[in-house]
Amino acid sequence: MNQRATLIYELKNLKKVYQQQPVISIGRLQIHRGTIYGILGPVGSGKTTLLRHLAGLEAQTEGILKYDNNEFERTWLGKIKVPQEIYYVGEHLVSAKQIVEQVIKSVYPDKSNRIVKRYFRGSVSKQILPLSLNFLSPGQRAWFDLVLALESDPRVLIQDNFATLFDNDMEFIARKELKRMNKDLGTTVILSSINDHALKKLCSVLVYLENGHITKVRSGQLKKQRGDYSKK
């Protein structure tokens, strides 16, 4: 197969500048469809900015970002039209006054019982169900948002700060379900973290960022597809 045919993202000379300060500057990055990627780096390295660009939530200052071999469509005002098949975890708005279990039943009425059994059986996660969203801790909210994403069957799933605030049960289930989704649906998964502990066993490719630049690309422990994943 033509290598380009396997690409879902291609970045060339991508730069983002805030208040005359460069935040990310990436010479080249290729992301292949159906692969799990980890974006690693310390706080302030540009991980969130990169993920938001991949999700179509921010526009670059310079350079090219192609999704499915084309740049993102824009409205006549220049705003990016985010493809519905890209799911950026936590970006979908839900009323803060709603109860978690009610939201699940409302969004996924045909499979709410299965969702509860699959994701909310742990000692910590089961305490989330009767709470309203505005009473969730950051870790609980991150878990709830990830569950909604997993059950939406996206083509691309993107999550910032993966598993940073999860307990052991949550992290185990998250890894299991992301691998299942990747294997069964071919979903491209892109996750970020400040350390590689949570991502090494889950990802095929690890991309390290520092000061907005890619410093190295390594193979993760999950078997990766063929291809040249990244070149600076």
Model confidence pLDDT, tens digit, residues 13-70? 999 999 889 999 999 999 999 999 999 999 999 999 999 999 999 999 999 999 999 9
CATH code of the region 3-219: 3.40.50.300
Residue 228 confidence (pLDDT): 40
Phi first, then psi, for residue 23 (nearest 5°) are: -105, -45
Cα gap 101→103, rounded to integer Å: 5
Dihedral over Cα of 204, 205, 208, 212: its sign: negative
| Amino acid at position 1, single letter | M
pLDDT band at 77 (very low <50, low <70, confident <90, very high): confident
Phi first, then psi, for residue 141 (nearest 5°) are: -65, -40
Greatest Cα pair distance, the chain, in angstroms, is 51
Phi first, then psi, for residue 71 (nearest 5°) are: -70, 155
Is residue 61 within 8 Å of 20, Cβ to Cβ?
Answer: no
Average pLDDT of the segment spanning 109-131: 91
Cβ-in-10-Å burial (0-12, 13-18, 19+) of 134 comes to exposed
What pTM was estimated for this model as a whole?
0.90
Helix segments in 92-220, DSSP class H? 100-107, 112-119, 138-151, 168-185
Per the model's pLDDT, the better-predicted residue between 32 and 5 turns out to be: 32
Cα gap 177→164, rounded to integer Å: 17
Record the tokens describing residue 180, joined without a space.
Answer: 């299942």
Cα gap 147→37, rounded to integer Å: 19
Domain boundaries in the chain? 3-219
What mean pLDDT value characterizes the chain? 89
| Amino acid at position 174, single letter | A
Record the tokens describing residue 108, joined without a space.
Answer: 């996924």
- Give helix 138-151 / helix 168-185 axis angle, nearest 10°: 20
Cα gap 155→170, rounded to integer Å: 22
DSSP labels, 193-218:
ESSSTTTTTT-SEEEEEETTEEEEEE
Q: How confident is the model over 166-210, as pLDDT tens digits?
A: 888 899 999 999 999 999 999 999 999 998 887 988 999 999 999
pLDDT band at 121 (very low <50, low <70, confident <90, very high): confident
